[in-house]
Amino acid sequence: MADLRLFCDAGLDENARNLLQDGIAPHELILPRQQAESVLVASAIDPAMAQADIILGQPPVEGVLKAEKLRWLQITSAGFTRYDTPEFRALAKSRGFQVTNSSTVYAEACAEHVFSFMLAQARQLPLALAMHCAGGSASWLQLRGASSCLRDQEAVILGYGAIATRLVEMLAPFHMKITAMRRQPRGNEGIAIVTPEELAWALATADHVINILPENRNSLHFISTERLQQMKPGAIFYNIGRGKTVDQEALAASLHNGHLGAAWLDVTDPEPLPENHPLWSAPHRHITPHIAGGHANESETLVRHFLDNFQRFLQGASLRDRVM
């Protein structure tokens, strides 16, 4: 195969950049003149992008349009909202380039993150870590009584991709009743699957509702006032997917009026929330700043995932995490 040109606009540290350069040699690595700050942030359009056979990063859509030789785009995040349009899918099809994302890279950290939310809620960690009460005191008895065990509880997972698959593995020792919602059930999920039309009955009995939906035209405000009302009183809601899939005002209202027991959010809309947003004043809301996928050596893991796919690409094999 003739030398390929890989254009990478991801904000990699030096180690990861060297790993990438060595890993693709003798093929050519082209870096933009202005490196992005992070692997998750879109870069500006760089003229060199137009010469690329392969792009790794978060290129602007207009940049991809100009890359007429492009055969493969690997996105350095799990989410790919800006590319997930009928127009872009049509472009990828007509030009014949493949699109992959990095969901495998973030699946472990994201699943552990939402699992940490679930256990922190069950064990009442935010409250318990702040209390200095004495054993046997009224506040101590109340705190103990408010604590619970995940074991034998019931969970609904919205969206069934790499993160949900891993989360289900992690929850196996807890003997929970788990149902996942998927728009197009494939029959090989290994757990109970419902479609959006069948979701209401599953929400009615779930102790935990875990939203991992990607953001696209179908999922905007999927969690609405109506959906929240379908959840049982006291249910705990988690969002580890994308903020825009949830009507934030409706979520805040459901916490303020006491219907939801708590909400644990790694994503919001917008991010970060403005200081006067009703979610900040809502009771029992716990928010982390979109870090669920974070882990030490993140860019190294990203590059290794790309290099694994690069070998597959050279061999003409199926790419992992293909989304188009």
Binding site for a second copy (CB under 8 A): 37-38, 40-41, 108-109, 112-113, 115-116, 119-120, 122-126, 128-129, 131-136, 140-141, 143-151, 169-170, 172-174, 271-273, 286-296, 298
Are residues 296 and 75 in contact, defined by beta-carbon separation less than 8 angstroms? Answer: no
Q: Mind giving me the DSSP string for 44-67?
A: ---GGGGG-SEEEE---HHHHHH-
Is 175 designated active site?
A: no
Whether residue 28 lies in the annotated active site: no
Distance separating alpha carbons of residues 53 and 310, to the nearest angstrom: 12
Q: Catalytic one among 113, 227, 242, 285?
A: 242
Q: Based on CB atoms, which residue is closest to a second copy, 71 or 123? A: 123
* Active-site annotation holder among 175, 226, 271, 322: 271
Strands (E), 76-153: 98-100
Q: Which residue, chain included where needed, has tokens 């061999």?
A: 315
CA distances from 174 to 115, 116, 118, 133, 152 (A): 12, 14, 12, 30, 6
Q: How far is the CB of 23 from a second copy (least distance, A)?
A: 22
The reply to whether 271 belongs to the active site is yes
The Cα–Cα gap between 14 and 31 comes to 12
What are the two backbone dihedrals, phi and then psi, of residue 265, each rounded to the nearest 5 degrees? -125, 130
**Residue nearer to a second copy on the CB measure, 52 or 155:** 155
Residue with tokens 């509880």: 153
Adjacency order of strands within the sheet including 154-158: 192-194, 177-181, 154-158, 208-211, 236-239, 262-265, 285-287
State which residue, 28 or 189, has the beta carbon closest to a second copy: 189
The nearest distance, CB 184 to a second copy, in angstroms, is 27
- Least distance to a second copy from the beta carbon of 66, Å? 25
Q: Minimal distance in Å, beta carbon 133 to a second copy?
A: 5
Task: Tell me whether residue 260 or residue 287 sits nearer to a second copy (CB atom).
Answer: 287
Nearer to a second copy, 286 or 312 (CB): 286
Q: CB of residue 142 vs a second copy: minimum separation in angstroms? A: 10
Which residues are part of the catalytic machinery?
A: 242, 271, 290
